[in-house]
């Protein structure tokens, strides 16, 4: 690395690369910046003032520090893995650019994370949630019902749903679908079911024009009361309100409908690789998490299938 170029400057170049070349979102690059700023502070405390002085032991020591809290807040295994991913990505970038002769983080592995089953609602609970979202008068309930119906019907992430423009939605013809842009702006086209088609169509015809008249939402499908694009935080609030109304508050998170979408498809006999494509997962391993059998499901199958399971 040139003596005139500090690690902070190299970090800024990497973050610019993530934004421009890889198309990562502002939220993602902000998370990378926080993690890598912590890493630079750790290196500075160890007397490492330039990235050429980093060796694998430094990276491993940093991983231990974030897990034990020696340099700040204690991170869970999942958060530590995310932090290490940022460090590994930066060092790989520096090596590829010729700023360092080797990649000291290449062989450092993240801590093992417990594999937890994603929480999914029962089909009846999803129906209660969607009904609750549409209760009330005015454009708000029509928008809320359309948003949640679309998320459940397509398996979209909340951020993907609020990022939709009108041109991304095709409800006409025999194969209605939405065009979603996932992580890294990777595009996929996902079918939309009849319930979501009806809800979105009702919103676009009866509610969106009134919301659009109050602001500059532009081409955004989902608008807030000011006429601007609905934010991810506001969409999360929509979900929380509907969950509370339906009596499901403690069981619902931003990904609940996405998890329910995948779980219900697989339970209905869908192939795991089809679900992978619908969800936009880069690896089928991620999707296979939904195929794990829960103890309750195992017991139910046993009780209904074994000839001497019940008296």
Are 140 and 132 contacting, i.e. CB atoms less than 8 angstroms apart?
no
- pLDDT value for 52: 87
CA 212 to CA 226: how far, in whole Å? Answer: 8
- pLDDT value for 250: 73
Residue 103 DSSP class: -
Comparing 103-112, 218-227, 232-241, the range with the smallest average pLDDT is 103-112
Residue 4 has pLDDT above 50, yes or no: no
* Active-site hit among 17, 67, 82, 183: 183
Residue 145 annotated among the catalytic residues of the structure: no
* Active-site hit among 91, 143, 208, 281: 281
CB neighbour burial string for 192-217, b if at least 16 within 10 angstroms, e if fewer: beeebbebbebbbeebbeebbeeeeb
Residue 186 annotated among the catalytic residues of the structure: no
Residue 3 has pLDDT above 60, yes or no: no
CA 264 to CA 279: how far, in whole Å? Answer: 13
Full-model pTM: 0.63
* Active-site hit among 188, 229, 258, 259: 258
- pLDDT value for 1: 43
Comparing 17-31, 140-154, 222-236, the range with the smallest average pLDDT is 17-31
* 190 three-class SS: strand
Q: What is the mean pLDDT of residues 163-178?
A: 93
Residue pLDDT, tens place only, 243-284? 999 999 777 888 899 999 998 998 888 888 999 999 988 888
* Active-site hit among 143, 157, 188, 229: 157
Angle at which helix 56-68 crosses helix 26-45, to 10 degrees, equals 110
- pLDDT value for 285: 78
Residue pLDDT, tens place only, 69-93? 887 788 888 888 889 999 999 999 9
Please report, rounded to a whole number, the percentage of residues in the chain having pLDDT higher than 70. 93
Residue 264 annotated among the catalytic residues of the structure: no
Comparison of pLDDT for 217 and 170, the residue scoring more: 170
- Domains of the chain listed by start with CATH number: 7-96 (1.10.150), 124-253 (1.10.443.10)
Comparing 31-35, 38-42, 111-115, 193-197, the range with the smallest average pLDDT is 111-115
Residue 120 confidence class, pLDDT cut points 50, 70, 90? confident
Return the biggest CA–CA distance within the chain: 81
Residue of 85, 105, 77 whose CA lies nearest to 34: 85
List the structure tokens of 282: 């880069």
- pLDDT value for 117: 60
- Distances 100 to 18, 95, 212, 237 between C-alpha atoms, Å: 19, 5, 52, 46
Residue 159 confidence class, pLDDT cut points 50, 70, 90? very high
| Average pLDDT over the chain, rounded to an integer | 88
Are 191 and 179 contacting, i.e. CB atoms less than 8 angstroms apart?
no
DSSP alpha helix (H) spans, the chain: 7-20, 26-45, 56-68, 77-96, 123-133, 139-154, 158-162, 194-206, 208-212, 232-245, 256-267, 272-279, 284-288, 295-305
Comparing 101-110, 218-227, 294-303, the range with the smallest average pLDDT is 294-303
Backbone angles phi, psi at 155, to 5 degrees: 75, 20
Q: What is the mean pLDDT of residues 138-144?
A: 96
Residue pLDDT, tens place only, 160-170? 999 999 999 99
Backbone angles phi, psi at 119, to 5 degrees: -80, 130
- pLDDT value for 164: 96
């Amino acid at each position: 690395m040139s003596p005139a170029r500090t690690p902070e400057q190299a970090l800024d170049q990497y973050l610019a690369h993530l934004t421009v070349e890889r198309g990562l979102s502002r939220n993602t690059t902000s998370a990378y910046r926080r993690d890598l700023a912590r890493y630079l502070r750790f290196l500075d405390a160890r007397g490492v003032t330039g990235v050429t002085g980093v060796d694998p032991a430094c990276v491993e020591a940093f991983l231990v520090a974030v897990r034990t809290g020696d340099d700040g807040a204690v991170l869970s295994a999942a958060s530590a893995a995310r932090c290490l991913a940022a460090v590994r990505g930066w060092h790989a970038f520096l090596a590829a650019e010729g700023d360092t002769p080797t990649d000291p983080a290449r062989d450092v592995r993240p801590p093992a994370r417990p594999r937890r089953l994603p929480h999914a609602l029962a089909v009846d609970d999803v129906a209660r949630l969607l009904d609750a979202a549409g209760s009330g008068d005015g454009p708000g309930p029509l928008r809320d019902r359309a948003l949640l119906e679309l998320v459940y019907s397509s398996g979209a992430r909340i951020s993907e749903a609020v990022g939709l423009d009108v041109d991304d939605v095709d409800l006409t013809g025999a194969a209605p679908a939405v065009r979603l842009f996932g992580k890294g702006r990777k595009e996929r086209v996902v079918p939309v079911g009849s319930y979501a088609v009806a809800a979105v169509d009702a919103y676009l015809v009866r509610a969106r024009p009134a919301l659009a008249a109050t602001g500059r939402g532009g081409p955004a499908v989902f608008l807030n009361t000011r006429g601007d694009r609905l934010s991810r935080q506001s969409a999360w609030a929509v979900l929380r309100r509907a969950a509370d109304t339906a009596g499901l508050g403690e069981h619902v998170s931003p990904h609940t409908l996405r998890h329910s979408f995948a779980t219900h498809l697989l339970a209905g006999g869908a192939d795991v690789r089809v679900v992978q494509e619908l969800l936009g997962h880069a690896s089928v391993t991620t999707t296979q998490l939904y195929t794990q059998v829960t103890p309750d499901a195992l017991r139910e199958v046993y009780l209904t299938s074994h000839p001497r399971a019940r008296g």
